[in-house]
Structure 1
Amino acid sequence: MSKGWSKEEVESVVADYFKMLLSELEGKSFNKTEHRKILSPQLADRSMGSIEFKHQNISAVMIDLGLPYITGYKPRGNYQGLLKKTTETLLESSPELIHAIKMDVEKGAELQHIDNILDAFVLPPAPQNNSTSVCENLSGYGETDSKFSKVNYLEREARNTSLGAAGEKFVLEYEKTRLMSIEKFNFADRIEQVSETRGDWAGYDIRSFNDNGSDRFIEVKTTRYGIETPFFVTKNELGFSTKNSLGYNLYRVFSFRKAPKLFMLQGRLDKVCTLDPVQFRAHV
């Protein structure tokens, strides 16, 4: 049985994670394997697999703090309390990283050319607790006792209108290409960007069509970050998905930084996702 990670070991692995994340945010290349090799002598005979697993634990901590994680380090929960505390403490003395995150979640986005957009479709991530984790709304998610920040940067990214608009254009192009690929040209010409023609109150963003001509109501959620990044839904979106469950589709667009991908969840949101209530309305 391996012994628990010491405070010094945890500090070393978290600091290394922050270096890689900063490089990723700044668009600089780095090699995860080389980082593990360099880090290894600072640790107590930890295997490469053990170090990688700890980096994945840090990804889960980052998400719980409302922060982006390193692409390729799939978040793994059930982490030790020391890991979260150390991550919070080191974030307090990492203004360069926090500034890079702030700039990244707020910067504009444009749809890039994709040779074959149909190849962007992937299966949803394997569910945790038989579901995909999301949050019910944008306010209050990610509150912790950490001193470094009370800002939820994943929430801030979700409010990025430029990114949201680019994600919708991506899905519009995907849907038109999908329908034309099965020679449903009349349906492709009738796709409607409801968020523009009717506004945000509709409960979905795009009206498209299934192969048989029935309505496909699409809500688009876009992130620059990895497939496991949680997203946010409103009460209105939840209500619409409940009333229109047969035609409702949530398209999660992710990795928008370089090579956008998307997966689809069909049906009412409270059945295909875990909805974590994160704010309560109080009155007297």
Structure 2
Amino acid sequence: MVKPLEQYQIYDRKDVHDVFDPLSNFTPGTGTWGLQGIVKVPNREKDYVFFVTFGQKQADHSFEEEITGDGILTWQSQPKQTLANSQIIDFINHDYLTENIYLFLRTSRLNPVTKKAQPFTYLGKLAYVTHDIERQQPVHFKWQILDWDANAALGSLDNLSLASTFIEKIEEEERSSVSNQLSFSEPPEPVERRGSNTRRFQGRHVDFAENTSKNKALGLQGEELVLVWERQFLIDAGRPDLAERVSHTSVIEGDGAGYDIFSFSLSGEPKYIEVKTTTGGERTPFMMTINELAFSQKEPDNYVLYRLYNFNKQTNSAKCYILNGDISMQRELVATQFKVY
């Protein structure tokens, strides 16, 4: 019986083999699936499985490894791999929308009862963030763990002893979060896939993975937070008459209007607000329907997109930046689905 792949669940190497390569033989402790850290998925050109063991050494080499509270994984390739290696080139050019890298992680600490190696925890798929262009053998990467939920991960990682910065970052974010509040910032610059020098690589914590973007409950929380903020903004600005007329369009009409909230500028002009919410960072890609995009092009003078990121479900708070007007003129659009006739 094949154990289905589920984020934050426990798997041994045979479990993973049975998911991705069930027609081949599995031998514990040897062969591709029984031993290797990087395994190419058969018949899938650029899909890989990463078996990562924190605290492991190879010869005299100790790996640099970390997971931050944002789900950024610091990872190193095999010690002999260079920037010219074909696998490394695949990783640098990895497109998480069309290719898959699956992360299974554990520590080198033995099970206290059996005295055997711990099983792996499946943490999710990965998306390329950056790599160090100055170091190789091994090559240093940063990856974003997709659909990352820090609190869910903490609850499922009983068999792991992750880098202390992971736990510290989560606690710091929870302490600094103010309930029911939006914190505004400027929109980020587009991501460049050029790699980083060593100094920038070590300080890089770019989060650009699509993170719970399809979670309707999270999306509704974000919309309600913006709804409250819009009404209070109009009241504080002396327009309670307009505040009373602000409406939650996506709830009243359902999806399809092309925007989520109907509000007003201080002069009384209509404001059509779309809200996109993720728990990931400011560079997390977000999904738009063709209807939403078309509406931003039809009403560029009155269209506003509130981009909520680092959403904290416990405190109902988020950071936010705003995009005004035609979204296609400001951001790169990538087709991820097609309607087939």
Q: Name 2:124's counterpart in structure 1.
A: 98
Measured after TM superposition, the shift of residue 114 of structure 1 is 4.0
User: Is 2:299 the partner of 1:244?
Assistant: yes
Measured after TM superposition, the shift of residue 177 of structure 1 is 2.2
Structure 1 residues without counterparts, runs of 5 or longer: 1-7, 20-34, 36-40, 44-50, 60-67, 74-78, 130-152
CA-atom RMSD in angstroms: 4.5
Change (3 A) 1:278 1:185: same
Secondary structure at the counterpart of residue 311 of structure 2: coil
Q: Is the 8 A contact 1:225 1:257 kept in 2?
A: no
CA distance in 2, matches of 1:253, 1:179: 20
Measured after TM superposition, the shift of residue 84 of structure 1 is 5.4
Q: Name 2:227's counterpart in structure 1.
A: 172
TM-score, L = length of structure 2: 0.48
CA distance in 1, matches of 2:190, 2:219: 24
TM-score, L = length of structure 1: 0.56
User: Is 2:129 the partner of 1:117?
Assistant: no
Structure 2 residues without counterparts, runs of 5 or longer: 1-35, 40-49, 56-60, 75-86, 106-119, 126-144, 153-173, 193-208
**Worse-superposed segment, 189-198 or 252-261:** 252-261
Structure with higher RCO (Cα < 8 A, 6+ apart): 1
In the alignment, residue 189 of structure 2 is paired with which amino acid? A
Query: How many correspondences in the alignment?
Result: 200
Measured after TM superposition, the shift of residue 269 of structure 1 is 1.5
CA distance in 1, matches of 2:322, 2:337: 26
Q: Name 2:71's counterpart in structure 1.
A: 70
Q: Give the 5 Å matches for 1:1-284.
A: 42=62, 70=71, 80-81=88-89, 83=91, 91=103, 95-98=121-124, 104=149, 114=178, 117=181, 120-128=183-191, 154=210, 157-257=212-312, 259-283=317-341
Secondary structure at the counterpart of residue 202 of structure 1: coil
CA distance in 2, matches of 1:188, 1:90: 47
Change (3 A) 1:207 1:225: same
Q: Name 1:146's counterpart in structure 2.
A: none
Q: Is the 8 A contact 1:219 1:251 kept in 2?
A: yes
**Worse-superposed segment, 267-276 or 256-265:** 256-265
Change (3 A) 1:116 1:182: farther
Q: Which has the higher helix share?
A: 1
Over the matched positions of the two proteins, sequence identity in percent amounts to: 31
Q: Is the 8 A contact 1:71 1:226 kept in 2?
A: no
CA distance in 2, matches of 1:229, 1:244: 25
CA displacement 1:31-70 (0-9 Å, x = unmatched):
xxxx9xxxxx626xxxxxxx79xx8xx99xxxxxxxx963
CA distance in 2, matches of 1:72, 1:177: 39
Please tell me whether Structure 1 or Structure 2 has the larger radius of gyration of its CA atoms.
2
Change (3 A) 1:89 1:279: closer
Q: Which has the higher strand share?
A: 2
